[in-house]
Amino acid sequence: MSRLYKAQQPILNDLATGLFAALLWFTPIDAKLGPLTIGIPVRLLGYAASLFYWTKAYLAAEELLQQAPLLLKKDEVDDEVEIDHYTHDRAAELEAATTHIDAAYLEAAMPAEEKIQRWQKATEIQQPALPEVAPVETKEAPSEVPEAPARSGNTLSVLIGTSGKQKHVWTPSEHGNGFFLVLGSSGSGKTETLKSIAAETHHFGIPVLIFDFHGDVVLEGATTYKISHASEFGINPMQLDSTDPDDGGVFAQVSLLLEQLQSSIPSIGHRQHQVLKQAIELAYQHQGITSDPQTWSKTAPTFATVLRILELLAENAEGPAKDSILGAHAAVAKIFEHPIFAKPKQVKLDALLKSSHRLDLSRLENDALRFLVVDTLLRKLTRALRAQGHIPVQPKSDRERYRLLTIIDEAKLVASRDRDNPNSTLNKCLTEYRKFGLGMGLGSQVAEHFSDEAKAQIACRLILKPFDRKQAATNAPDIGLSAEHLLLLKGRGDGWLKLGANDRPVRVQVTPLHERSLESPKPDRSSENDGPEDLWKQAIARLEADLQAKLPPAIDHPEVDPPDSASNASQPPANPEVDPPDAEAPEARNSSASESGELLPAEELTAALKRLCTLFKEVGSTEAVHEFAQLSIDDRERALWFGIKALGLTQRQAILKVFDRSGSGQKGFYEPASWLKALEEKFGTNQE
């Protein structure tokens, strides 16, 4: 059945219905139905119905006349072309043949060049399907199962998906920044895409921070903080973001808090705003924190302190003033009373910047709480990045170019609350913090959740299947396509990818995480200064060698005879429960250590290693452990043990100079003395 015929049917039906209604015009005026005279009402009903259906038919016919030439040409082409289901292989062939193909015909398999040209000619009448740009050069893939893209060890390249046999990768250093936007309806593949970007970035060696609103953005190898009323760790928005006298302190923090609360709780009025300002300032004064920078290191107040001050102010106020105070208390009480803002243990910012973490926010009760947590952490993290200074003008590696990648699925919870405010945290992240090493992967349903200024900073975008035509019409202009292009997307992971402002959109199938081959990249060996392939392994080996050189021969590693030796059979080793370390077989020792489980918390272990390296510098040693975040827990423990022994530290010296007692009270953490004992049992030599 032709397209023109199908389009005519509703019009003919409306004309027939109107004609039937017109027959009611001839109903006799004195016609009766029982005792009632119904002639005039029936005639009026006929007039109204016929007018309605004929008007509807007229408007539809007018629209059909405009589309008729295109429909006729498409009908003519359909007589010669057998329509097949869309596949990416066929789409790739079409893209290689022409840059002007109507979206409705991406599903067709073109058997001959002549028919492709006829399609192009037919569809150019109304609008071209894609912008006029040079066609993409096709590259043959070595196998059907997509693997991680070939890349140098110093360049981050993330496989997004494939189009036929062609792979499409995101290399952020080629596009000016590390910002990536994914749009699409629920179930379209946004979360899977963001998980893949996070996994490849983490595997490359750049720390990743995931804000997980639904508990489904899991990253293997990342430390998970569950943020809820019952969690161990919390957030304190009143903790000073900066103690720099030029841009930090109480005044700046109060202003930031008030802006944040206004975005989180839009119902706060002008008078309530002033009351909250006074209460927050009094809370800082109560803790002894004033405009004097010497006081800024004191323990910050919490939201609970502010609530208590509001209650005291209300007790001593009367009339309208009391009403304003009570109104302010009522507006913020539900948020301020939440336990996450009063936890004694806070999420550690330095840990978030050193290794990958996932913040599970799925247990928080409402979006206002989620916004406040995410906005607070983003604000504090960006200030911490700023404190590290600008990234190098010519970074040697993308690990220098990008210090942190944040992943926010359902970013509308953060972006849409204060969308058009250029000073909102998310907008400032996108516009100001590229030069401080921040990258972001954002997911949402529609582009309208982000301001135009924010979107202008994001060169790389992936648009997946929309929920309906309205959503398609909203998202399509962001990559220069029409709504019809998006409506043709088939399902999960099928989308249009635009990698740069000057690139053409390409239809791709996102490669799911389980189909990726994540192998550690090898560092470039382009210069002698780049160092060996595995710096940390080399550093650990040097620490072991340093230990051998510094320890007296009497307590050095004992030589163990082979099992079949006579002397070994007659004289058992001094400590049969602990194998002596073997510098030539580190893998075997690592394997046994892994089986015994980790001894120290990861972030405490990394901090101890850094303090240990500082001690090495103090004694003039050039040996140090590099890139701690990329070591396994077992290797970090091993490096720590040999480093302590290489320096000849006593137990007391190690506790004071290497370990930090501040973390020893945390759940599951060992006391420093217990740490040393556990390390000695795991890696110790016969040094009694």
Rounded to 10°, the helix 672-683/586-596 angle is 130
Do 329 and 311 touch, CB atoms closer than 8 A? yes
**H-helix or E-strand spanning residue 440:** strand 438-444
B/e letters for 500-509, b = 16+ CB within 10 Å, e = fewer, are eeebbbbbbb
Mean pLDDT of 510-530: 59
Paired residues of 442 in beta bridges: 181, 408
* Domain spanning 143-218+357-363+380-527, CATH architecture: 3-Layer(aba) Sandwich (3.40)
Rounded Cα distance between 20 and 22, Å, is 5
Do 264 and 257 touch, CB atoms closer than 8 A? no
Paired residues of 230 in beta bridges: none
Q: Residue 661 above 80 pLDDT?
A: no
Q: Residue 527 above 60 pLDDT?
A: no
How many other β-carbons are positioned within 10 Å of the β-carbon of residue 6?
10
Q: Residue 21 above 70 pLDDT?
A: yes
Report the range of poorest mean pLDDT among 141-145, 188-192, 370-374: 141-145
Mean pLDDT of 104-114: 44
pTM for the structure as a whole:
0.57
Question: CA distances (Å), 247 to each of 242, 256, 572, 640, in order?
Answer: 7, 12, 67, 38
Rounded Cα distance between 410 and 486, Å, is 20
Mean pLDDT of 158-180: 91
- Parts of the chain belonging to CATH 3.40.50.300: 143-218+357-363+380-527
Mean pLDDT of 98-114: 43
The chain-wide mean pLDDT, for the chain, equals 74
Q: Based on C-alpha coordinates, what's the Rg of the chain?
A: 34
Query: Can you read off the two tokens belonging to residue 382?
Result: 């960006």
Residue 518: partners with Cβ closer than 8 Å, 6 or more residues away: 148, 199, 200, 203
Do 658 and 612 touch, CB atoms closer than 8 A? yes
Q: Residue 561 above 70 pLDDT?
A: no
Residue 272: alpha-carbon gap to chain centroid: 35
Percentage of the chain lying above the pLDDT 90 cut: 32
More confident call, 365 vs 647: 365
Residue-wise DSSP of 289-344:
--SSGGGTTSPP--HHHHHHHHHHHHHT--HHHHHHHHHHHHHHHHHHT-GGGG-S
**H-helix or E-strand spanning residue 404:** strand 404-408
Confidence of residue 325 (pLDDT cuts 50, 70, 90): very high
